[in-house]
Structure 1
Amino acid sequence: MQQQNSVFRDLLKLISWREFKRLVDMHKSDDLVRKFTTQHQFIALLYGQMSGAQSLRAIEATMASHQARLYHVGGKAPARSTFADANRQRSFLVFSGLFEHMLGMATRSFKRQMGEVVRLIDSTSLHLAGIGTHWAQFSTRVCGAKAHIVYDPDLGCPVYHMVTNAKVNDIVVAKQMPIVEGATYVFDLGYYDYGWWAKLDEAYYRIVTRFKSNTPLRGPREMALEPDSGVLSDRIGFLPGRQANSRKNPMQVAVREVVVMTETGKKLRILTNDLDAPAKEIADLYKRRWQIELFFRLMKQTLKITHFIGRSDNAVRIQIAVALIAFLLLHMLQKMTKAKHGFLELVRLVRTNLMHRKDFTRLREMQMPQPCDSRQLTLDWCSP
């Protein structure tokens, strides 16, 4: 009879181990290593993400209890000190590189049906505390980091990430992000930079953001409104000629202001360099920006990016990269199985059945006992 693999082993089969080995060799992360290899470290970190373990001790103890099944996937229960040393010393580039490679695989597997490429840009703050967090010093009493994310709302997953000190301004990271040709970029006030906007506009990228409350629109020209669009006004004009520091504004092209009313009754002034698309389309694009906020909330609810098992710069970067890989694996699993239940329920089912020998396409089904061989002797126990 064929033996069913555990759910964790089936998830590990989705990993590109050939690419993983190439990255290990490139960054020499296994040089002079005798026992606890980079693969052991990655499997332990991924197990921690999938199982919900919140500390090195929890990962060590729970993996030790499943050592027999971990052996068949190339994993081993780590010693806490060895595990901590690996997280502090091994290059995070191995894990971030694996995420980028797997993202490319997922993108090819789940091709979008529409031609337009939309990218949502935002960041989320991560609180750090304790010894070893001096690299993330935000103030005399607070340490923190930022995870900067570019999110694809059509694929439903992040396509780029960077981790920095919490002091680093969002626009500084945005200027380093790779830009996809012909894409629409949607972002909030953290990326309010006329110079960056001008470069995107010159390269024919569409931007959708919102005005600051004190930014006027010069020489506005009213546009006709479509009936029942929910748009209050649609105007084309120019941004101020001078910036706050009296320097010339590099964004001298015409822009568009689309005003809508939020559910809370607040007027929202949306800015775009697209002068031709319907106003409702622009409003709907900006509304999609909330999907990245929901992604941050989902990540913090389901994966471990609020409790860190290491506090060094390298350890935090590794843990976030592995968390994103875990999210991508679960996202791929949801697409492959065409699961009707939500992502949060899928995470709970995987967590509950992680080390069980069960088909991951049937996590919700009750596990029936294997039938006994009719030729095998059975005993009927009688009550006294």
Structure 2
Amino acid sequence: MRFKPSILGKLVEPINRRRFQATVDSHDGDAYDKSFHSWDHLMVLIYAQLSGADSLRGLEAGWNANCQHHYHLGSGWLSRSTLSDANRRRPVGVFAETFDLIVNQLDRHMRREGAAMLRLIDSTPIPLGKICGWAKSNGRIRGMKLHVVYDPNSDCPRVLDITDANVNDAQIGRTITIETGATYVFDKGYCHYGWWTAIAGAGAFFVTRPKSNMGLKLVCDRRVAAPHGDGFTVIEDTEVSLASKGDSKLPIRLRRLIVKRQDGETITLVTNDLERSAIEIAAVYKGRWQIELLFRWIKQHLKIRKFLGTNDNAIRLQLFAAMIAYALLRIAARAGRIAMPILRFTDLVSQCL
């Protein structure tokens, strides 16, 4: 009988096995689990993510029930005790670098020629609760935080970092490699004058909201030629400078926009982009909602209260596996010209897995 690959087998085809093995070797990823290799581990966690398995016992039963596909996946029988040991000991860097490889491939699949380089930066909390006593609290939740740099043009996360919940967003923002010509869009949680200066110095731009205690003084007014945008109206466009003692820490020209939304709410934006029109800048900030779709996918399809381990390493591995699964779904949707939302496509794959 002619072999027909499983849905899972087709999804993981974009992962280059040789490059993956090179990553494993560089981290010595198979040093402690010689019978359960890193590839087996990755396949099992991707399957767990897409199938919705929320316990080691349920994952073991589901995986072993489909043993007819193990050979073609390059995997084998699963023991939950072996998986538990691997979750505790396998280096997170193996999955982190694999995610980077997949994202680069997704970017090549979905790059749009001539599109402006936009980078949306945000974070979302991963609550762990009292079961993980080691987890730190930020005053609201006890757990971890997922930091993402998202490219809306290629529709994929380009940078992913996982930290304790009490790590400041601006601290992670300063570690991002700045791309010349890119526009970084983020909220007021990423307020750091030194980082803003570095963005401008690298020939890039930022669009953000200032904190309420940020003193700005008027330099000159700018005329708004066409104030009405899609769901908002620009009511003020001015050039400003920092009016506090920290002038020397922000030696760049700033522009302040006051925008009235369709719901009547008024927001203030600050940018170092002096060339784009006010409507374009306001529209760029409005586009931040796109990263919320990614976070919504995470919250709906990642069993954030049912991790397959309660130690730090296991949770990080599962988070990276979830994001690898997300990128693979994006590649599959692109290759198959599937127009349905990623949330519905994930549901469909889960039913046919």
Q: Same fold (TM over 0.5)?
A: yes
Structure 1 residues 141 and 180: alpha-carbon distance in aligned structure 2, compared to 1, 3 A threshold: closer
Unaligned runs of 5+ in 1: 355-384
Q: Deviations over 1:100-158 (max 9, x none)?
A: 01111221222222242110111100111355541x22179963100111000111110
Is 1:316 aligned to 2:319, yes or no?
A: no
1:85 aligns with 2:88: no
Instruction: Indicate the residue corresponding to 2:29 in structure 1.
Output: 29
Alpha-carbon spacing, 1:33–1:143, altered in 2? closer, same or farther (3 Å): same
Counterpart of 1:66 in structure 2 is 66
Instruction: Tell me how far apart the structure 2 counterparts of residues 118 and 338 of structure 1 sit (CA, whole Å).
Output: 23
Superposed CA deviations along residues 26-46 of structure 1, whole A, max 9, x for unmatched, are: 111112534211111111101
Asked whether the 8 Å contact 1:241–1:252 carries over to 2, the reply is no
1:231 aligns with 2:231: no
Q: For 1:261, what is the secondary structure of its paired residue?
A: strand
Determine the C-alpha separation between the residues in 2 that align with 1:47 and 1:296.
20
* Greater CA drift, 279-288 or 300-309: 300-309
- Residue correspondence of structure 1 range 274-289 to structure 2 within 5 A: 274-289=273-288
CA distance in 2, matches of 1:41, 1:32: 13
What CA distance in whole angstroms lies between the structure 1 residues aligned with 2:82 and 2:129?
Answer: 22
Structure 2 counterpart of 1:20: 20
**Does structure 1 retain, via aligned residues, the 8 Å contact 2:128–2:304?**
no
Tell me the equivalent position of 1:161.
Answer: 160
Question: Which amino acid counterpart does residue 38 of structure 2 have in structure 1?
Answer: T
2:7·2:349 contact (CA, 8 Å) conserved in 1? yes
Structure 1: distance between partners of 2:139 and 2:242: 39
Whole-angstrom CA distance in 1 between matches of 2:304 and 2:352: 22
Question: Could you tell me which residue of structure 1 aligns to residue 203 of structure 2?
Answer: 204
Code of the residue aligned with 1:95 in structure 2: it is: F
Q: Which residue type is aligned with residue 226 of structure 2?
A: P
- Separation in 1 of the partners of 2:102 and 2:252? 39
Asked if the contact 2:121–2:185 (Cα under 8 Å) also holds between the matched residues in 1, the reply is: yes
1:237-258 Cα distance to aligned partner (Å, 9 max, x none): 1122324xxxx54113221011
Q: Conserved in 2, the CA contact under 8 Å of 1:120 and 1:186?
A: yes
Supply the distance in 2 between the matched residues of 1:26 and 1:187 (Cα, whole angstroms): 34
| Long gaps (5+) in structure 2 | none
1:194 aligns with 2:202: no
Which residue number in structure 2 is paired with residue 252 of structure 1? 251
1:19-72 Cα shifts (integer Å, max 9, x gaps)? 111111111111253421111111110100111111212111111111122233
Moved more, 145-154 or 122-131: 122-131
CA distance in 2, matches of 1:331, 1:265: 36
Letter in 1 for 2:183: T
Shift of residue 345, structure 1, vs aligned partner? 1.7
Report the number of matched residues: 349
| Change beyond 3 A, Cα 1:227–1:117 | closer
Query: In structure 2, do the counterparts of structure 1 residues 77 and 185 end up closer, same or farther at CA, with 3 Å as the change threshold?
Result: same
Which is worse superposed, 108-117 or 192-201?
Answer: 108-117
User: Partner residue of 1:41?
Assistant: 41
Partners of 1:344 and 1:293 lie apart in 2 by 12
Residue matched to 1:377: none
- Select between 56-65 and 101-110 the one with higher mean Cα deviation: 101-110
Question: Structure 1: how far apart are the matches of 2:141 and 2:255?
Answer: 40
Could you say what secondary structure the match of 2:249 adopts? Answer: coil
Q: Distance in 1 between matches of 2:7 and 2:39?
A: 18
Partner residue, 1:11 = 11
SS in 2 for 1:269: strand
Residues 114-129 of structure 1 correspond to what in structure 2 (within 5 A)?
Answer: 114-129=114-129
Structure showing greater radius of gyration is: 1
With normalisation by structure 1, the TM-score equals: 0.86
Q: SS at 1:72's partner residue?
A: helix
Aligned CA RMSD, in angstroms, stands at: 1.9
